[in-house]
Structure 1
Amino acid sequence: MSESLSRRQVFRILAQARFLLALPVAQALLSAIAPADAATSTVRPEGEDMNLDDGTDSIDPYRLPRHIIPHRYDLRLEPDLDRATFAGRETISLMITQATSVILLNAVDLTISSVMLEGSSSTRQNATIELNDSTQRCHLTFSHPIAPGEWKLHLAFRGTLNDQLRGFYRSTYRDSAGVTHTMAATQFEATDARRAFPCWDEPDFKAVFATTLVIDPRLTAVSNTAVASESIEAGKKVVRFADSIKMSTYLAAFIVGEIEATPPVPVGKTPLRLWTIPGKQPLTSFGHEIAVASLKFFEEYYGIPYPGDKLDLLAIPDFASGAMENLGAITFRETALLVDRQRATHGELERVADVVAHENAHMWFGDLVTMSWWNGLWLNEAFATFMEMLAVDAWKPEWKRWDAFGTSRAAAFAVDGLHSTRPIEYSVQAPKDAEAMFDVLTYEKGASVLRMLEQHIGPIVFRDGVRDYLHAHAYGNADTNDLWVSLGKIAKQPVPELMDSWIFQPGYPLITAEINQLGRLVLSQQRFTYLNPSPRTPHP
């Protein structure tokens, strides 16, 4: 996911304005910034903390139990844009590894009307449904124990297309005649897929998605994969999409509305298109150009073909972040994708190029290989920031993107010199704790540290280490140390020992060189801070 435009611009302005004078401002900005079956349903009131355990859920209030593993979602959603609601049905294919009478999964802001569990021998069970808004969990209790093996969980549910820019939400815009139109879009990172459909909403519960959207015939639907079929049923257009690769729930995407696409351009075997609301197609040419160029660059750099069957980039009128790396259906704030290349400033063109390249980089680093838990979010974002610089610099070398990146690095230095700074990676219990990672320390400092490592071990060795990491963990999950191990193996250097101090300690070192009374050169190191510097550690 890309940072919002305003935050990134603020960091650059602060750096250019001699950031020491603006430290209090920077600190303040960072902190701001199936057939229906009989079922019994209980809803608990929403609490202050979405993850507080109330004694009815698992021992860990933040992680779902690991003895039930979803591996496929057959999902059917029918959004009603006029009423701002949606209805859904899904079948989740499960592997249960130990006997249980309870199934826990995530759901919030949904009304679940029926649940039925079906076994391979046509065994069927209904459940008592208990929705807990404080933990954002659905607690399904069955009257008979569920034996280990393959099961299918059928659910029917309803929800609201909210106006909060998260989950499955509605976006409105006015056309050139002043008429208001509504479309539906999604934003699921970090934990808002559960607002659109009941699911195991954690990044290491990867599964295949087979999505069907039932919509008004005058509208268009886009999801993560190519359209497999379209038909008209009971006056509705039924759009069935091809199966996805195994991916995390936060990467699923559904967009429905009056939208138009550029003609598809093949990049290898991948058709690439840009989507806009009517009337904005003339603003797509620049974004389309960098999308094609960066996708080609990443396929060559990673040594792995693009993992999806198509790539759509969609400009959404109402969008909270800069962009979101949904596999095959990347969503953008309009200003991060659309630009008039004849009238735009260099900064505006640079912004679009950076964001498009950033999101395309995620298709491998984040989507194909995903962090195991949210403490690894920094690596997704820092690596995509590093890769956006590589791709744009290769595309437009005259822009000298790495030189300009020094301004962003200066903004990271400004924040990292504060006593209140944090390590790049830190322990995350509740997913909401990861929200603090969407800042300059993750994007700019993280990318700077990766650039430092690349220059230390050499660009070719670094690239080959990244390839080793992606091949080793494709379609699965990995942690920070897994990348260091792959880079260390290829570089034949102790990369984990080198990098851990940069990642898990706050701040950055200040090196002082002095000649002592004996005429010897003494190098001393201390953590840089603006006030009350830490004691030096001398190294004669």
Structure 2
Amino acid sequence: GRWELRLTFSGILNDKLHGFYRSTYKDANGKEKALASTQFESTDARRAFPCWDEPAFKAVFRVTLVIDDGLTAISNARVISETSLAGIGKKEVVFADSMKMSTYLVAFIVGEFEATDPVMVGKSPLRVWAVPGKRHLAKFAQEIGSFSLSHFSGYYDIAYPGDKLDLIAIPDFASGAMENLGAITFRETALLVDEAKATRAELERVADVVSHENAHMWFGDLVTMRWWNGLWLNEAFATFMEMIAVDAWKPEWRRWDSFTVSRAAAMQVDGLKSTRPIEFPVEKPEEAAGMFDVLTYEKGASVLRMLEQYLGAEAFRDGIRLYLRRHEYANAETTDLWDALEDSTRQPVRPLMDSWIFQAGYPLISVERDGRGLILSQSIFRYLQDGNTPERKWHVPIFIRAGTKRGVVNRTILLTDPRVRVELPDDADWVVVNAGGHGFYRARYSPDLMADLKQALQTSLAAVERFNLVNDAWATALAGLTPLSEYLNLIDLLRDETDVNVWTSVIISCHNLNRILGEKQRDALRTRVRAVFAAALDRLTWSPRAGESELDRQLRGDLIGALG
């Protein structure tokens, strides 16, 4: 039969920023104030109340909070009653039942708060909450919050699963934000911003984080990974989807172009001997906490973008819709995602993606000309070539674009063998093997192919392809696979470069070189690169121009900073 377990327990608000904890701040008069908030992911719900604190144990939560008069209480669902308790200066706040969800998504927030007026997204009101005196900084977050929530509802073809959505700024918060269903908590700087005074980077940060957390309402809350080894199913998808939403909201920001910097950061870590697969065994709470890293988020999102571009955006989306419908209000594993994508697209997704999710590292694609074709070969990329590098093989979507006298020719192949020959048009002048920059791999071109690409650098290659060309050349030089002089010769060609992301890669590499070279070599490097930086700045102009883009303003600051 059915049993009911009742437990009476007590606890103390901690100041450790996890579990049910106390956050402090100073009000407009400098007086210290306190509020209470929760942070349960990954294994800290047990610090607040007795529970089976594992993601696969989902339940409906009915929350009642007794708080001081004058305070506000927020939880996962809407308030259904608020009753004053006569004579004791307190009130009882009762919330509606939550949907069936994991313990780490439960939230209670109690304190002095002010809210924006609600914006309706479908049938659900969306508000932004902040401590008194900061509500005026919530407008930008509410705009991207309502846009992204609506956008995701359409993309997934599933309505937002909560009955309301509160975005809550917490003064003391350990991470960027936490995707509690209906009550998302944020570090203040990730939610509140003065749009008139903020930099482009600050606005992007708020837009990214809000969109990321909203994406979790489906990936993470509605459908949750069965165990922490599958955390990427939550975080990689939320990272991928934040790019989808922000790019749709502000296409002039070119977020997929700037995501190449995040992809490169993941590749930098994944090129180390100490790297791990995206999905990795987890047995202890500290191991679960260790999964929140660049491999889960940025590498995971990168391989999803690669898969989306290989399958086609609509086919990929349809597979995601099937996955969510099959597992809503429940848990899933990586194999469940492959099943849905294969059933929807009729493509062999499992062998392709298993090589990226369960295998550490990524391939280096070496490219050589062979008569009227190309020879593509794959090997594992490692910065440290110590003679013990394992042999690994990936199923690699290769996006090829070749320039011919008749125009541009595009072709996509799936590289599954260590080496393959690909036919090219007879009159191909140049060829890129990571067209669009979507592949999570590096390319090393033979000297003759690299010479052709240098000729086409500013006329035929997209900004993201120029970024990859420069970043891959730097990485292979660091690994001792190509001469450093080849990388510096490539930098010499960037006097007309206008993309801020390309320059970000170059400036970082030059700073790193400056730290490791001897004094005479440093002087020679400075003279050489300063000439390139100055020429690029002269072309951009040293002073702002009327009507120039935010990206141009950002690039000018970066170049001036690099020149010192």
Q: TM-score, normalised by structure 2?
A: 0.68
- Give me the whole-angstrom Cα distance separating, in 2, the residues matched to 1:357 and 1:225: 20
Paired residue for 1:274, among 128, 134, 140? Answer: 128
- 1:211 equivalent to 2:63? Answer yes
Q: CA deviation at 1:415?
A: 0.9
8 Å CA contact 1:528, 1:534 repeated in 2: no
Q: CA deviation at 1:522?
A: 3.9
- 1:332 equivalent to 2:192? Answer no
Instruction: Give the secondary-structure state (helix, strand or coil) at the position aligned to 1:237.
Output: strand
The residue number in structure 1 matching 2:82 is 230
2:58 is aligned with what amino acid? Answer: K
1:526 is aligned with what amino acid? Answer: S
The change in CA–CA distance for 1:521 and 1:200 in structure 2 (over 3 A counts) is same
Q: CA deviation at 1:485?
A: 1.0
Residue correspondence of structure 1 range 456-475 to structure 2 within 5 A: 456-475=310-329
Q: Percent same amino acid at aligned positions?
A: 69
The residue number in structure 1 matching 2:258 is 404
Instruction: Give the secondary-structure state (helix, strand or coil) at the position aligned to 1:272.
Output: strand
Q: CA deviation at 1:432?
A: 2.3
- Give me the whole-angstrom Cα distance separating, in 1, the residues matched to 2:24 and 2:290: 29
Q: CA deviation at 1:512?
A: 1.4
The change in CA–CA distance for 1:498 and 1:165 in structure 2 (over 3 A counts) is same
Pair member with larger Rg: 2
Instruction: Give the secondary-structure state (helix, strand or coil) at the position aligned to 1:240.
Output: strand
- Give me the whole-angstrom Cα distance separating, in 2, the residues matched to 1:265 and 1:377: 31
The residue number in structure 2 matching 1:508 is 362
8 Å CA contact 1:320, 1:333 repeated in 2: yes
- 1:195 equivalent to 2:47? Answer yes
Question: Structure 1 or 2: larger helix share?
Answer: 2
The residue number in structure 2 matching 1:486 is 340
Instruction: Give the secondary-structure state (helix, strand or coil) at the position aligned to 1:315.
Output: strand
Paired residue for 2:114, among 233, 255, 260? Answer: 260
Q: CA deviation at 1:515?
A: 5.6
The residue number in structure 1 matching 2:151 is 297
The residue number in structure 2 matching 1:246 is 100
Instruction: Give the secondary-structure state (helix, strand or coil) at the position aligned to 1:194.
Output: helix
1:450 is aligned with what amino acid? Answer: L
Q: CA deviation at 1:319?
A: 0.3
Instruction: Give the secondary-structure state (helix, strand or coil) at the position aligned to 2:290.
Output: helix
Paired residue for 1:178, among 30, 39, 45? Answer: 30
Q: CA deviation at 1:514?
A: 3.5
Q: CA deviation at 1:479?
A: 0.7
Q: CA deviation at 1:523?
A: 3.0
The residue number in structure 1 matching 2:166 is 312
2:384 is aligned with what amino acid? Answer: L
Residue correspondence of structure 1 range 524-535 to structure 2 within 5 A: 524-532=377-385
8 Å CA contact 1:374, 1:431 repeated in 2: no
Question: Structure 1 or 2: larger strand share?
Answer: 1
The residue number in structure 2 matching 1:413 is 267
Instruction: Give the secondary-structure state (helix, strand or coil) at the position aligned to 1:155.
Output: coil
Per-residue deviation, residues 399-442 of structure 1 (Å, max 9, x unmatched): 11000101111111111111111111111122321222211111
Instruction: Give the secondary-structure state (helix, strand or coil) at the position aligned to 2:211.
Output: helix
Total equivalences in the alignment: 391
The change in CA–CA distance for 1:184 and 1:535 in structure 2 (over 3 A counts) is closer
Instruction: Give the secondary-structure state (helix, strand or coil) at the position aligned to 1:481.
Output: helix
- 1:165 equivalent to 2:165? Answer no
Instruction: Give the secondary-structure state (helix, strand or coil) at the position aligned to 1:407.
Output: helix
8 Å CA contact 1:219, 1:257 repeated in 2: yes
- Unaligned runs of 5+ residues in structure 2 are 393-417, 422-564
The change in CA–CA distance for 1:219 and 1:421 in structure 2 (over 3 A counts) is same
- Give me the whole-angstrom Cα distance separating, in 2, the residues matched to 1:264 and 1:390: 25
- Give me the whole-angstrom Cα distance separating, in 2, the residues matched to 1:519 and 1:272: 59
Instruction: Give the secondary-structure state (helix, strand or coil) at the position aligned to 1:497.
Output: helix
1:200 is aligned with what amino acid? Answer: W
2:172 is aligned with what amino acid? Answer: D
- Give me the whole-angstrom Cα distance separating, in 2, the residues matched to 1:314 and 1:286: 14
The runs of at least 4 consecutive aligned structure 1 residues that moved more than 2 Å come to 513-516, 518-524, 533-540
RMSD: 1.5
- 1:352 equivalent to 2:206? Answer yes
1:291 is aligned with what amino acid? Answer: G
